[in-house]
Structure 1
Amino acid sequence: MAMAMGTFTAKGGFRIDSEDQSWNQKTIFPYSLYLPMFQATVKPRRPRRQRLIVCAASDSSTDGAKGSGTTARGRRLVKIREDKRKRDYDRLHNYPSWAKVLENACKYDAELRALLGDSIGNPELMRKRVEERVRQKGRDFRKSKTGSVLAFKVTFRDFNPLDSYIWFEFFGSPSDRDVVLFGSVIQSWYVMGRLGAFNSTNLQLANSSMEYNPCYDVDKGFKVMPSSFHEISDIEFQDNWGRVWVDLGTADYFAIDVLLNCLTVLSSEYIGIQEIVFGGQKIGDWEEGMTNTEYGYKYFKI
């Protein structure tokens, strides 16, 4: 039986030693003859790759989703991201242009920003809040003073102080706030007349000088025949017109002067009045029996 063994020599060769039981033979081969063979068969070692395996803890909430590879928290996060993506898409493609205008205006208008509040981003809620403000305060809801710099016109048309309407033409349809303010003035006027305030027969101080400590005669004032406002109706509004029916009773025309004095300041500071007509059955485009609020009808109960 023969054995062969190869080793590298110091002079750059490769030696094969062959041995058997009967003879010994040594043969030296050139090193360059076997170098390509070793280069082709000896391959460098590749670094071993390491895997990171993360195992999620078992949870009873995920029993229904076994095999999906997700957790309940992960699914919630995915849903949140999907909802946000949908909102962003709707905001870019389906968001109303008027809502964008309002949002941009909020940057420079503190009152509008306070009005919209947490409704920004919800066009339907934004629309409802703006409509409510316009209904309560008028169309120009940013205007603090809504009076008129022009004096109103006063006309009498067969005015009967015991049975007549007083008509009021405004510059625009009064808001709910205007209705309450105007109605309160007329109501106060009626209460004063009901208590006998409009009695020209007892004007002791009207023509007196206040420089010499005038004296008021209470007995004379007590003996004067009282003059009382009798009746008044609720105040009705249709668009930019309003009316109230009155029965002045025994009150003097002095009551009309007092009313006009009050309405002069009211018109210049708060509610612009264009014309006041005493008497007449129909003024402007007033429609009898029309009490539908959707068509601009409003009223103030005295």
Structure 2
Amino acid sequence: MSMACGCWHYYNRPPQLLLKSSLRLSSSSSSSSTVFCLSSKSKDDDEIDKSEAPIKGSGTTARGRRLLRIRQDKLQREYDRLHNYPAWAKVLEDACKNDTELRAVLGDSIGNPELMRNRVEDRIRKKGKDFRRSKTGSVVASKVTFRDFNPLDSYIWFELYGSPSDRDVNLIGSVIQAWYVMGRLGAYNSSNLQMSNSSMDHDPLYDADKGSKVMPSSFHDISDIEFQDNWGRVWVDLGTADYFAIDVLLNCLTVLSSEYLGIQQIVFGGRCMGDWEEGMTNPEYGYKYFKI
């Protein structure tokens, strides 16, 4: 009975006391030191724990990665632009900041050296051989001569100081076109010059009946204006227009030459001037024209 009670008291001790008792018993029964492993996990248990652990993400979203790639591409392009960009293209870009004409020439080609080169070459080709020639006119008056001029069938020739640019062709063409339109409408009729013979000291009177009864006077025909290098020409048939139409044209060309582009000489009549080559219409050899 006493043994049973002792066993009951032994096994009903707290776990800490049982562990201490077992350690004392084991150490007293063996002279060698013993290492006790209270708990251990097998290799299979570790693999199970790893498989059950949650998978960690990269910390970024798909949108974030796309934005990062875009930023990297932008930085790469900026690096290439600074280190591999042609020096002449950088000079043109800087010049565009203060030059509106150059900025208009380059347009949306800025940043693309090859396209910039093509735009500039095309501009130089259109302006002619002398790209830097001044466009402010000439202080020297144009020389005017007549060579067997027939008002019904003759050429009017213009000799410029250099190959005309597209702007020059448009200026001369617009003047000749306006001159022809006015002549076509009967503007050059000396039979009805009522205002030129009236005094402007008082309000003049215009006789509309007289103006409507005068004999019509109008141009008959005109050709397109052609240019070969620095020479230009236009064929005219003045019809019944009076000769003071020539004075009107010369007045216009005189101011045009002094203010906008230099005209070296104007020749009325003649079949061939300078090194004009009949039938040559190739733009690569300096041929240009203005459609009337």
Same fold (TM over 0.5): yes
For the 8 Å contact 1:135–1:176, the answer to whether it is kept is no
> Structure 2: how far apart are the matches of 1:262 and 1:89?
54
CA distance in 2, matches of 1:255, 1:233: 17
Q: CA deviation at 1:84?
A: 5.8
Equivalent residue runs for 1:1-150 within 5 Å: 57=58, 88-91=82-85, 95=86, 98-106=88-96, 108-109=98-99, 111-113=101-103, 115-116=105-106, 118-134=108-124, 139-140=131-132, 146-150=136-140
Shift of 1:85: 5.5
1:30-67, Cα deviation, whole Å (9 max, x unpaired) = xxxxxxxxxxxxxxxxxxxxxxxx976499x9xxxxxx
Which residue identity lines up with residue 238 of structure 1 in the other structure? Q
In structure 2, stretches of 5+ residues that fail to align are 1-54
1:140/1:301 CA distance change after superposition, 3 Å:
same
Matches within 5 A, 1:115-264: 115-116=105-106, 118-134=108-124, 139-140=131-132, 146-264=136-254
How does the TM-score come out when normalised to structure 2?
0.67
CA distance in 1: counterparts of 2:243 and 2:95, whole angstroms: 51
Identify unmatched segments of 5+ residues in structure 1. Answer: 1-53, 62-70
- Return the match for 1:275 from 236, 258, 265: 265
The CA distance in 1 between the partners of 2:269 and 2:105, in whole Å, is: 42
Deviation at 1:234, TM superposition (A): 0.9
Is the Cα contact below 8 Å between 1:134 and 1:140 reproduced in 2? no
Change (3 A) 1:280 1:86: same
**1:7-36 alpha-carbon deviations (Å, 9 max, x no partner):** xxxxxxxxxxxxxxxxxxxxxxxxxxxxxx
Once structures 1 and 2 are overlaid, which stretch shifts more, 252-261 or 114-123?
114-123
Cα distance change of structure 1 residues 124 and 191 upon mapping to structure 2, 3 Å threshold: same
Corresponding residue for residue 46 of structure 2: none
Give deviations 1:75-114, integer Å, cap 9, x for gaps: 88777766666555533xxx2x543442443455455356
Summarize deviations over 1:248-267 as a string: whole Å, max 9, x none.
11111111001111112222
- Against the structure 1 CA distance between its residues 155 and 114, is the aligned structure 2 distance closer, same or farther, given a 3 Å change threshold? closer
The one-letter amino acid paired with 2:236 is: V
Alpha-carbon distance between aligned partners in 1 of 2:184 and 2:108, rounded to the nearest angstrom = 49
Q: Which has the higher contact order (CA 8 A, sep 6+)?
A: 2
- Look up the SS of the partner of 1:129 in the other structure: helix
User: Aligned pair in 2 of structure 1 residues 102, 77: CA closer, same or farther (>3 Å)?
Assistant: closer
CA contact (8 A) 1:238 1:286 kept: yes
Greater share of residues in strand: 1
Q: What is the distance in 1 between the residues matched to 2:126 and 2:160?
A: 16
Matches of 1:114 and 1:226 in 2, distance apart? 47
2:279 is aligned with 1:289 = yes
By how many angstroms is 1:164 displaced?
Answer: 0.5
**Distance verdict in 2 for CA 1:132–1:55, change over 3 Å:** farther
Q: After alignment, is 165-174 or 176-185 more displaced?
A: 176-185
CA RMSD in angstroms comes to 3.3
Q: Counterparts of 2:90 and 2:74 in 1: how far apart (Å)?
A: 24
Superposed CA deviations along residues 216-262 of structure 1, whole A, max 9, x for unmatched, are 33333233222221111111111211100011111111110011111
The structure in which a higher percent of residues are helix is 2
Separation of aligned partners in 2, 1:76 and 1:206: 75
Q: What whole-Å deviation, never above 9, does each CA across 1:111-155 have from its counterpart, x for those lacking one? A: 5356435533422222233344446667349x7x63222221101
Q: Say if 1:232 and 1:78 are closer, same or farther in 2 by CA, change over 3 A.
A: closer
Structure 2 residue aligned with 1:47? none
- Count residues with an aligned counterpart: 234
